[in-house]
Amino acid sequence: MTVSSVDPWSPSPAHFRAIVVGVVGIGAALLFRVPAILVLATPFAFVAVWSTATRPDNAPTLTSQISPRTIREGEATTWAAELCDVNAVDHVVAFAPPRTWLETRPHSGVVATGVDHGDSTTTAAVAVAMRCTHWGRHEIGPINVVAVSSWGAFRWRALDVGYQVTTLPLPDVFDAAPPQHRANGLVGLNRSSHPGDGSEFSGIRPFQTGDRLRRINWRRSLRSGDLHVTSTYADQDTHVALFVDALADFGTSGGIDGAASSLDTTVRAAGAIAEHFLLRGDRVSLQVFGSRGRSHVPPASGRGHLRRILDVLAVIDPDTSRAGEVRAGRGAIPGDALAIMLSPLISPIALQRAVSIASHGLTVAVVDTLPDDVHTDDDASTELAWRIRLLERQREVRSVQNVGVPVIAWRGPGSLDPFLREIARRAAAPRMARR
């Protein structure tokens, strides 16, 4: 909690109105000798005098928090505040101003709660629920907290600021049915071509020196009279290197409930691919080019690593001023890695980097994340410019495909199936060897 300012108890406009109406009404009734005006003005004067006599002296103590601080798109977080020493408080009001990509519950952002003085408690709680509809880091506040005394005569106000919520991208639904290409590691879920310590059954063989006792197949050993062990295929992993183009964002973003821009599709697709391979036990690395802040995540595996990748994806901020400084290099990735680049392919830098990666002998695919309606515009000149650029883009894509780099449109589940099936076929094909 960071309270930037706290105002002491001060008279409210309602208190001033009661004083003015009471004084002016009583004066007019005595001056013009009209009893009806005196009857109407006396309650206002009585409330003004009573409120002044019972004016609060001690200011409440505000304690607030927001939980959780990290959520997914479409999930909600709650700002909650508690006021102590509210003996002189009649009710508490909190107001959360509207923010981009934040939906408050209630929609107005105003929440009020009354204080039950018949209870022995001296605290009052108020809370505002907020739903984040877009990935990124969002500033919460400033939130105004107002405590009001009896008759609304005096009010105490505090401004609560300094909150930030990280909204992780919600990965698209993605799955890949074809088998993965073979790698050298021994930790993933893909079956290796050679026996080893794994989880997939290979066969039963006689016991050899060095075999683990937990591998002994007691049923076969009792029937044959000799020790036999269960052999397995070694598990292997795949290093998936993700390259994300964050040079610019094209299209209109409507959040999790609306249309997706090119950067929305890129970020969510990258999260879906990373989640798919990490849950299989593979290693995934991430490189973001064209974005401010952190842009690299080294290869690792596990659910904790998925969180690290989503954290980097959530803070992507396109930096168009550095578009000319981005180099089309390969990066430090091994030769047996599976490289997947996600880009709207408007800037030629992404295709140049894909060709550079393929020239080093790596298996690479480019995922096209450009929305279908991005070129729709009411301005004839803008529409013509988009048509020309898209024609140039088609020529660049064909030239990249001619050098053996596939370009795949992102369509969710099964988008990479043809590409993964092809690399699996290449891995199983016979190869020439020297004798």
CA–CA dist 282, 267 (Å, integer)? 20
- Given a contact cutoff of 8 angstroms between Cβ atoms, the answer to whether 282 and 238 are in contact is yes
Residue 156 to residues 8, 55, 250, 332, Cα–Cα distance (Å): 6, 11, 47, 59
- Given a contact cutoff of 8 angstroms between Cβ atoms, the answer to whether 337 and 326 are in contact is no
Tokens 């001033």 sit on residue: 16
What pLDDT score does 418 carry?
A: 82
CA–CA dist 25, 281 (Å, integer)? 81
What pLDDT score does 197 carry?
A: 60
Q: 0.85 exceeded by the pTM?
A: no
CA–CA dist 288, 313 (Å, integer)? 8
pLDDT in tens, the chain (435 residues): 555 567 889 999 999 999 999 999 999 999 998 899 999 999 999 999 999 888 888 888 888 999 999 999 999 999 999 988 888 888 999 999 888 899 998 888 999 988 876 665 678 899 999 999 999 999 887 899 999 998 889 999 999 887 899 999 988 877 665 555 444 444 444 555 446 565 667 788 888 877 788 888 888 888 888 888 888 765 556 789 999 999 889 988 888 888 899 999 999 999 999 998 888 888 899 999 888 877 889 988 888 999 999 999 999 988 766 554 555 444 566 667 889 999 999 888 888 888 888 888 888 899 999 988 776 667 788 888 888 988 999 999 999 888 888 999 998 877 888 887 777 676 555 555 445
Amino acid, res. 156 = W
CA–CA dist 9, 23 (Å, integer)? 23
**Backbone torsions φ then ψ of 412, nearest 5 degrees:** 85, -140
Bridge partner list, 129 = 78, 105
Tokens of 271: 């999260």
- Given a contact cutoff of 8 angstroms between Cβ atoms, the answer to whether 296 and 333 are in contact is no
Tokens of 227: 């020790």
Q: Supply the DSSP symbol for 216.
A: B
**Backbone torsions φ then ψ of 33, nearest 5 degrees:** 55, 55
Q: Identify the three-state secondary structure at position 22.
A: helix
